A and B are shown apart, each in its own frame.
Chain A
Amino acid sequence: MTFLFLTQLLAVLAALFCITLFTVRLRAFVRLAVPKDRSQPRGNPNAGVAYALSLGMLPWAKESTRRHALAYLRGVGFHLAVFLVLGLFLLSPWLGLFPVPLRLGLAALCGLGSLLALMGFVSRFIEKSLKVLSTPDDYFAVLLVSLFLACAAALLLNLGLLPFFYLVSALLFVYMPLGKIRHCIYFVFSRLFFGRFFGRRAVLPHSQQGKVVA
C-alpha cells in the first residue's frame, strides 16, 4: 500500500463523509415546511427565480455589488476556482494525461483563485466591518480553501504533490459540512426564495415592473 494510495483513500473517505453529511443536512432541510403563497401573483415567480440565478448575480445588478465590485468579483472568482478544483479532484488520477499547456493554464487559474481567497482572508483582518462580523470559523474556512486552491495550482505544476493535495482535500471535505463552507448547499434555495418573492410581486426582473392591474 503506497503513501499515494493511502492519501487517495483518505480523500475519498473524507469526500464520502462530506457527501453523507450534506445529504443529511439537505434531507433535514427539505423536510421543513415551504410556506404556500396563496396571494394572487402580480408577476411571474419563475421569471424572478430565473433572474435571481442569472442576471441578478451580475456585478451591476445591484447597488451593493456596484459599490463593492472588486470585492464581489474577488468572491465570484474564488468560488469559481473552488468548483474548478473540485472538478480537478475528480480527475486527479488522470492529470498526467493533460497536455502541459492546459495544466499550466489551469494552474494559473487555481493560483489566481488561491490569491483571491487569500485576499478575502486579509480583508477580514483589515476591514473593520468585516472583522467584527468574522468568527474563527470564517478565518479558518477561507484559509483552508485558499490552501486547497494553492495545492491544486502546485499539483498542476508538479504532479508529485498529489498525496499532499489529497491530504488537504481530505481536510477540506471533513470541514465542509461542519463549518461555514456548508452555506454552499443553501445558496440555490436562498436565491430561489428571493426570486420567487420578488418575481411574484413583479419587482424583479425589472422587465416585470409597470404592470397596471386595476
Chain B
Amino acid sequence: MSTKVETALEVLQKQLNQPLVAALEVCARCGICTEACHYYQAEPIEAHMPSMRAEQLRQVYRSGHDWLGRLFPAWTNTSPLTEEKLAALAEMAFTRCSLCARCTVNCPMGVDTPLMMSALRAMGTATGNAPEVLEMLADAAIEKGRDPSIYLDFYLESIQEMEKELQQLTGNPQARIPVQKKGARKLYVALAGAHTILPAAAIFDAVDEDWTLSIFEAANYGVFLNDASRAKAICKRIVDEAKELGVEEIVISECGHAYYAMRWVAPNWFGEEFNFKVTSIVEVIAGYIQRGLLNLDPTANPEPITYHDSCNLGRKGGVLEEPRQIMKAVTTNFRELTPNREEAFCCGGGSGLVANPDVFDLRMLAGKPKLDQVNRSGASVVVAACENCRLQLGELSSHYGAGFGVTAIADLVVKAMRLPGARQTLEARMTSISESELAEK
C-alpha cells in the first residue's frame, strides 16, 4: 500500500462518525435518487447517478469494514483503494458533484451523498489530488489574513474612494463606509470588489444602520477542499475581527458558501457557540422590509424576474422565504422557477466548480437543467444571492445564447430605492460580475 493510499484511508477513518457510516451503510441501491441530480438530468449516464458516485466510496469502505466484502469481494462489489482509484474518486468528488444535497432531499433513506463526497474531497486534499486552483485560493486567503497590515492602507484608500461613490449614489454627503469601527452592531463581510460593498452600504445608509465593513473577504475556499484546518483559518480572521470589534452580528454578503460556512459550520470548527449572530445580507434586507424601514418602488424593476435558490443559502441554509419577500417588494413581475426552494436545481457552479477553469464544459453541461428552468419561466433577469451562482448563470446565459441577465438581490433593492445617483454610479458597476473579477480575486 502506497503512502498516499495509507494517508487517504487514515483520513477516511478519521471521518467515520455516525452520520457518515449511516450514509455508507443505509443505501439500498434503489436508484430513486437518480433523476434528482442535475448532472444526470443533463446527461443521463451511470457516472452521474448519485448512488453510483457514493458506491465508489462504499466499495473502498467495504474492503475495510464489511465482513462479507472482505471474504467475497465480488459478491458485494468491494475493491481496495489504489492510487489510480484515489485519483479517480477525488476527480469525481471535485468535479462531478456540487454537494447540492438535492439527492439527499430526494432519497427515501435520506442518504447524505454530499457528506460522502466531502469525505472524498478531504481524502483528495490530503493526498495532493485536489484542484490546484482551490488550494491556491485558500492559501492566498490564509496568507492575507496572517498580516493584514500589508494591504490595509491600500484597502482603506480604496474604501475612501468607494465612499465618494456611495455619497454620490445616495445623495447623502454624510454616507460612510465604516471600517474597523469598534462597538458597531453589524460587521458586514463582503466579497472582493465594490459590487458587493456599495449596494449593501447604500441600504445600511438608508436605514441608518450601525455597521462596519470587514477588512477580510467572505469567500472560503477551504470549505470546498473539505480541509477543516484551512477553512477554519479563513473563518478565524473574521471571527477574531468580530470579537475584537465587539459586534452583535456578522452579516455575510450574497455568497452561498461563505454564509453556509460561517453560519452553519464555523461554530463546530471552533467548538464554541458564538456570542454574535451570523446572518446573510438577504435576511437583513428582508428584516428591514418587514419593519418598513426601506422606501421601495417595485416599478423600478418591471421586467420579468425570477429567483434562483442557491443550494448553500436555500436547501442547506434555510434562507428560502426572505428572498421572495424581497422580490415581492422590489419587482412587479416576479415569477418562480419550477421546482424551487428545497427542490431547486443547482446551477452547476457550486462547491468550487466555478473557480476551476478545467471543468468549464462540464459546468456548462451540469447547468443545463437550470438554464431550461429559467427559459421556461420566461424571465429576462435571474436574481441569485450567491456570487458563484451568478457567475455560473451569466456564463450559462452567454454560452447557450439565452440572453437573460443576472443580478444580485441587493442590486435590485437599490434600484427600487430610486436613489438620486443610482444611474451614474451603480448601474455601470452593478451588472453581473465578470470572470476577470474572479481572476482578480
Instruction: Decide: B111 and A190 in contact? CB cutoff 8 A.
Output: yes
A77-B396 Cα distance, complex, nearest whole Å: 43
Instruction: Decide: B342 and A75 in contact? CB cutoff 8 A.
Output: no
A130-B28 Cα distance, complex, nearest whole Å: 11
How many residues of chain A have a CB within 8 Å of chain B? 59
Instruction: Decide: B36 and A186 in contact? CB cutoff 8 A.
Output: no
Interface string of A62-80 (1 = CB under 8 A from B): 1111011001100100000
Tell me if B364 counts as interface (CB < 8 A to partner A).
Answer: no
Instruction: Decide: A183 and B28 in contact? CB cutoff 8 A.
Output: yes
A67-B52 Cα distance, complex, nearest whole Å: 19
A35-B30 Cα distance, complex, nearest whole Å: 28
Instruction: Decide: A178 and B33 in contact? CB cutoff 8 A.
Output: no
Tell me if A54 counts as interface (CB < 8 A to partner B).
Answer: no
A204-B343 Cα distance, complex, nearest whole Å: 11
A109-B109 Cα distance, complex, nearest whole Å: 24
Instruction: Decide: B342 and A64 in contact? CB cutoff 8 A.
Output: no
A191-B84 Cα distance, complex, nearest whole Å: 34
Tell me if B290 counts as interface (CB < 8 A to partner A).
Answer: yes
Instruction: Decide: A203 and B18 in contact? CB cutoff 8 A.
Output: no
Tell me if B126 counts as interface (CB < 8 A to partner A).
Answer: no
Chain A proximity of B64: nearest CB distance (Å): 13
Name the segment of B67-75, B191-199, B353-361, B407-415 touching the other chain.
B67-75
Chain B proximity of A48: nearest CB distance (Å): 10
Interface string of A172-197 (1 = CB under 8 A from B): 00000011101100110111011101
Chain A proximity of B253: nearest CB distance (Å): 14
Interface centre among A65, A136, A179, A209 (most CB of B within 10 A): A209
Known: A71-B30, A178-B67. A64 touches B75 (CB 8 A): no
Tell me if B32 counts as interface (CB < 8 A to partner A).
Answer: yes
Instruction: Decide: A62 and B105 in contact? CB cutoff 8 A.
Output: yes
Instruction: Decide: B31 and A133 in contact? CB cutoff 8 A.
Output: yes
Contacts of A210 in B (CB 8 A): 320-321
A135-B23 Cα distance, complex, nearest whole Å: 18
Of all chain A residues, the one with the shortest Cβ separation from B109 is: A190
Chain B proximity of A38: nearest CB distance (Å): 4
A56-B438 Cα distance, complex, nearest whole Å: 40
Tell me if A1 counts as interface (CB < 8 A to partner B).
Answer: no
Tell me if A97 counts as interface (CB < 8 A to partner B).
Answer: no
Contacts of A133 in B (CB 8 A): 29, 31, 46, 49, 51-52, 55
Contacts of B304 in A (CB 8 A): none
Chain B proximity of A125: nearest CB distance (Å): 13
Among A30, A39, A63, the residue within 8 A (CB) of B106 is A63
Contacts of A30 in B (CB 8 A): 18
A42-B322 Cα distance, complex, nearest whole Å: 13
Instruction: Decide: A64 and B318 in contact? CB cutoff 8 A.
Output: no
Chain B proximity of A96: nearest CB distance (Å): 35
A92-B279 Cα distance, complex, nearest whole Å: 59
Tell me if A32 counts as interface (CB < 8 A to partner B).
Answer: yes
Interface string of B112-147 (1 = CB under 8 A from A): 100000000000000000000000000000000000
Instruction: Decide: B18 and A36 in contact? CB cutoff 8 A.
Output: no
A64-B25 Cα distance, complex, nearest whole Å: 21
Tell me if B263 counts as interface (CB < 8 A to partner A).
Answer: yes
Among A72, A193, A204, the residue within 8 A (CB) of B32 is A72
How many residues of chain B have a CB within 8 Å of chain A? 73
8 closest A-B pairs (Cβ-Cβ)?
Answer: A194-B110, A214-B287, A210-B321, A201-B318, A64-B106, A38-B267, A214-B283, A186-B26
Interface string of B82-96 (1 = CB under 8 A from A): 000000000000000
A75-B27 Cα distance, complex, nearest whole Å: 13
Instruction: Decide: B46 and A132 in contact? CB cutoff 8 A.
Output: yes
Name the segment of B158-166, B236-244, B269-277 touching the other chain.
B269-277
29 pairs from A and B in contact (CB 8 Å cutoff) = A29-B18, A29-B21, A33-B18, A37-B268, A38-B272, A40-B278, A62-B343, A64-B36, A64-B108, A65-B108, A71-B30, A133-B31, A135-B77, A136-B74, A179-B68, A180-B28, A182-B25, A183-B27, A186-B22, A186-B26, A189-B22, A190-B23, A193-B19, A195-B110, A203-B318, A210-B321, A212-B322, A214-B285, A214-B287
Instruction: Decide: A64 and B107 in contact? CB cutoff 8 A.
Output: yes
Among A129, A180, A193, A204, the residue within 8 A (CB) of B18 is A193
Interface centre among A40, A52, A136 (most CB of B within 10 A): A40
Known: A39-B267, A63-B36, A133-B51. A209 touches B341 (CB 8 A): yes
Tell me if B34 counts as interface (CB < 8 A to partner A).
Answer: yes
Instruction: Decide: A198 and B342 in contact? CB cutoff 8 A.
Output: yes
Interface centre among B31, B34, B287 (most CB of A within 10 A): B31
Chain A proximity of B376: nearest CB distance (Å): 16
Chain A proximity of B288: nearest CB distance (Å): 8
Interface centre among A137, A179, A189, A214 (most CB of B within 10 A): A214
Among A29, A34, A57, A127, the residue within 8 A (CB) of B31 is A127
Known: A71-B30, A194-B104. A32 touches B17 (CB 8 A): yes
Tell me if B16 counts as interface (CB < 8 A to partner A).
Answer: yes
Instruction: Decide: A209 and B320 in contact? CB cutoff 8 A.
Output: yes
